[in-house]
Chains A and B, each alone.
Chain A
Amino acid sequence: MNAELEKKIREALANPQNVGEMADADSIGTVGNAGCGEMLRLWVKFKDDKGKRVIDKATFQSFGCETAIAVASMATELIKGKTAEEALALKSEDLSGGLGPLPPMKIHCAELVEGALRSALEPTTTACPPAATEVAPVATGTNLIDSLSQEQKPGVKITFLPPTAK
């Protein structure tokens, strides 16, 4: 990653916009899988603007890549005031526009945000689903974040060893 991009990501992460759940969202989109650690969820609230249904605000939660957090922070600002169709027309490179061109190995981070946006705004998911749509990640296989979530697997049974085991 070049120094300029790294600096912009740092700046975005220092003061991320629109982080957190939204209780009264009109639609929710999720990409990734909370069970395996990497996940991005987007909440969207609409309002009426001169007869047009436009995005009033959007918030997100992310667990994983810092670039995805930076892009989500920018994207949730960018889509304000846009209709669902206008927001859906945005490509991952538009969403990460403020960061400048992303290197190939980081493009997936912006695609994650684009995926969450589609999940939230496409007609099949705009009816405020009670449970967010889970979309398979781009690629699967062994990875480090999976190791972390494996270690954190809930419901484990703990048996204390006798002091003599020391």
Chain B
Amino acid sequence: MSEVLEAYPGAQRALFRKYHIGGCSSCGFQPTETLGQVCVRNNNLSVDEVLAHIRTSHDEDAKVLIDPKELAELLKQNTAIRLLDIRSREEYEAVKIEGSLLLSQPLMQEILGKWGQDATFVVIDHAGKTALDGAAYFLGHGYKNVRALRGGIDAWSLEVDEKLPRYQLG
């Protein structure tokens, strides 16, 4: 699987979105497993079909991403869009987009239990490295309108709100 992930960086997200594989430790896989072994463990999925799906993962990722400026425009038109911030509490308290919600254990339960699968929300991280993974986690659980902010809050600061300070970690 490590070679599959190296060749197709979006493979894990693609696998979870469609097959509920690789989302949490219980349905995860080992880097040393082969794709064939993972398919056998998961209801004998067809390796060819799964591979074909993985090959489309880059296009699927692109559909999930939303540009900062596009999001800013959408927020002006639709106040029902929620912003889900998946960064650490320290980062959230230092810099945040107004109205965004910090992901926490109680909030995760509220999302899974009460938001409903038609809820529209955008996952925000620091610089766009993990928001796609976060969005894929929810998409894999059946949520239909989840996007990930391209470039994270850092891109938002550069492209939408210059008053929002940029930062680095470490």
Contacts and interface: CB of A to CB of B under 8 A. Distances in A.
B163 to A, nearest CB: 10
Contact of A140 (B23, B30, B42, B114): B30
Interface stretch (A63-71, A80-88, A126-134): A63-71
B167 A159 contact: yes
A124 interface: no
Interface of chain A: mostly helix, strand, loop or mixed: mixed
B136 interface: yes
A105 B87 contact: no
Interface size class of A (residues with CB under 8 A): 35 or more
A143 B88 contact: no
Most buried by B among A14, A141, A144, A159: A144
Contacts of B162: 166
Interface string B94-138: 100000000101001100111001000000011001100110110
B158 to A, nearest CB: 6
A161 B168 CA distance: 7
Given A65-B23, A144-B12, A151-B130, A156 B29 contact: no
Interface stretch (A22-30, A32-40, A42-50, A93-101): A32-40
Interface size class of B (residues with CB under 8 A): 35 or more
A141 B112 CA distance: 23
B147 interface: no
Contacts of B86: 148, 151-152
B165 A105 contact: no
Given A156-B170, A159-B167, A146 B88 contact: no
Contacts, number: 165
B68 interface: no
A36 B25 contact: yes
B28 A141 contact: yes
Contacts of B140: 144
B150 interface: no
A61 interface: yes
Contact of B30 (A66, A104, A141, A161): A141
A154 B166 contact: no
A135 B170 CA distance: 32
Contact of B113 (A14, A146, A163): A14
Nearest to A64: B24
Nearest to A31: B26
Interface of A: 1, 6, 10, 13-14, 16, 19, 32-33, 36-38, 61-66, 69, 103-106, 108-109, 111-112, 137-148, 150-161, 163, 165-166
13 contacts: A38-B26, A105-B20, A105-B43, A140-B25, A142-B12, A144-B134, A148-B133, A151-B130, A152-B86, A152-B103, A159-B167, A161-B168, A166-B157
